[in-house]
Structure 1
Amino acid sequence: MSRRLDDIVTELATRTVTAITNMSDEHERWAVYQTAFERGDCSDLLFDAVAAEPVPSVALSIVLQMLGTLPVLARPAWIEQLALPDNREYATRRANDIAILQSAEVTQLLVDEAVQDSWSDWLQLRLAEFSKEPDVLSRLTARGRTRRIRRYAMQRHAAVERGLF
């Protein structure tokens, strides 16, 4: 493990009052990262940890966890910290999904019949669980990619129609 990562994780552990006994164990580092996600004063160190983290899946997980909390314009810098092109590509897709999920109105995107086909299962599931837009929920009930997505959308649509959300 690099000295730089050692310093980053030590500082994160100090800030979060999290014990770590083995810096070379990615599970212990992940426990420190998880605690740091909940604090606003750790994003600078988490950003540095992405580039220094030797386990690509852990680095990707840090970025994925942070994407939803970051301003849209800050997301590309975090994605660029990832060492592997496949991980950068995956994180970029997730950032795009999050942007759709956080947009003011998803219904207007449904004008293009093909747009839903470009949505990942992750995005469809989140929309089925959290959308308050009847047209989005109707479309997912009818054409969601999985039974789970269709079921969640149907249940959410019924709740929205009853005025529960």
Structure 2
Amino acid sequence: MAFEWQYDELDDFDDLPELADPAVIADDRARLDTAVREEARRALCPNGTGRGRGAERPVHEESPAMTPTTPRGRELLRLLAERVGKTDVDLDDEHDRWAVYADAVPREDLRPLLKQAVVEGDEMARVVVVDVLQHVDIAEGRSWVDGLGTSSGRTFAERRLREWALIHDLVARPRSIVDDLPDLTLWCQRQLVDRVAADVVLDDLAEHGTSRKVRHAARARRAGRRRVEE
């Protein structure tokens, strides 16, 4: 399971002038990709445990800031690891913990235990909650976001919850979204292209999507669907 990246800027390059030097665009894209991923690591490791420019220690180095912050959190995570079949887990390694969370997120039977584990203060709580949102209804999603309290990741999780609410609403009750598009993230627009089949939504995305990639994908989805109907 991939991280739900907080940033959509990589798609901004799709709207550069077509005559721009491809080598320059490729170089800029590579530099931005590195910057975005570094920023994402800092979002997960706000106390400086992630590897930034000039840092000498590896990302996985043991650090109190990267561990569950309560004894109960560690015990719950250990139990969760056993439930997903991972018995050799280093709780002080964020990669090991993420592997446990990734296996647990899609499993409805483990979500009560997973929720208890992430609210105990793990720095990865926001990332886990955001991934859970795609598997639950809006009411349950609200309870997961509320579990983040006033942590720094709360704002992003709130936005993602609103986006999932809009996606589910448009799947059930399609309508024009031309007025909504300027405020929708590129992530949300891509999800709409993939999940909503109604012409009224795809037409708006094809004409007014905020990146060229979104507009092209909406046109392709619309054309493909019409061919199937014919």
What TM-score range do you get, normalising by the shorter chain? 0.7 to 0.9
> Take 2:166 and 2:199, find their aligned partners in 1: how far apart are those partners?
16
Say which of 168, 184, 188 aligns to 1:102. Answer: 168
Could you give the per-residue CA deviations for residues 120-155 of structure 1, whole angstroms, max 9, x where no partner exists? 211111111222111211111111111111111011
1:92 maps to 158
Is 1:70 the equivalent of 2:136? Answer: yes
Deviation at 1:21, TM superposition (A): 3.1
What root-mean-square deviation, in Å, do the aligned CA atoms of Structure 1 and Structure 2 show?
1.7
TM-score (norm 1): 0.87
Partner SS state of residue 140, structure 2: helix
Deviation at 1:19, TM superposition (A): 3.1
What is the 5 A alignment of 1:139-154? Answer: 139-154=204-219
Further displaced range: 122-131 or 149-158: 122-131
Is 1:119 the equivalent of 2:184? Answer: yes
1:159 maps to 224
1:13 maps to 81
Unaligned 5+ residue runs, structure 2?
A: 1-66
Percentage of identical aligned residues: 27
Could you give the per-residue CA deviations for residues 71-115 of structure 1, whole angstroms, max 9, x where no partner exists? 2212222112225544211111111111111121232x53xx422
Partner SS state of residue 43, structure 1: helix
Change (3 A) 1:85 1:54: closer
2:72 maps to 4
The amino acid across from 1:133 in the alignment is: A
Deviation at 1:49, TM superposition (A): 2.0
TM-score (norm 2): 0.64
Unaligned 5+ residue runs, structure 1?
A: none
Say which of 20, 23, 41 aligns to 2:109. Answer: 41
The amino acid across from 1:118 in the alignment is: D
The answer (yes or no) to whether the contact 2:73–2:117 under 8 Å persists in 1 is yes
Rg: which structure is higher? 2
The answer (yes or no) to whether the contact 2:73–2:118 under 8 Å persists in 1 is no
The answer (yes or no) to whether the contact 2:138–2:164 under 8 Å persists in 1 is no
> Take 2:179 and 2:151, find their aligned partners in 1: how far apart are those partners?
27
The amino acid across from 2:154 in the alignment is: R
Kindly report structure 1 stretches of 4+ aligned residues shifted beyond 3 Å. 83-86
Partner SS state of residue 64, structure 1: helix
Give the number of equivalent residue pairs.
Answer: 159
